[in-house]
Amino acid sequence: MFEQTFKNIDDILHKDAGCGSELDYVEQTSWVLFLKYLDDLEKDKATAAELTGKTYTNIIAPEFQWTVWAAPKLPDGKPDYHNAPTGDDLLEMVNNKLFTYQHLYKQKVA
């Protein structure tokens, strides 16, 4: 299931200008997968807390959660492709907002 998805991503990235091999973008791909994993982990922890009557405080601020910036949804739960950042907007958000937030968060908890 995931193998074909990763192959498709790899094919797109490999054809991108400046990418000579998988080593050119493996760090970025790993980082994106980690952010998605963290979002799913937080959802699981929130659900577990809700089922036991406890409260759960997300690690990541709401505006930096995967489902807000990378995969926004419409009120009916369908993907909101028109409001998801792409191209220069996505680069701006990730490079200048998300990474800055994560760096500041890391310093705060250290």
93-107 burial: b if 16+ Cβ within 10 Å, else e: bbeeebeeeeeeeee
Confidence at 17, pLDDT banded by 50, 70, 90? low
pLDDT: which is higher, 10 or 44: 44
pLDDT of residue 76: 95
pLDDT of residue 50: 96
Sign for the pseudo-dihedral over CA of 10, 13, 15, 20: negative
Confidence at 54, pLDDT banded by 50, 70, 90? very high
C-alpha distances out from residue 67 to 42, 59, 71, Å:
11, 14, 5
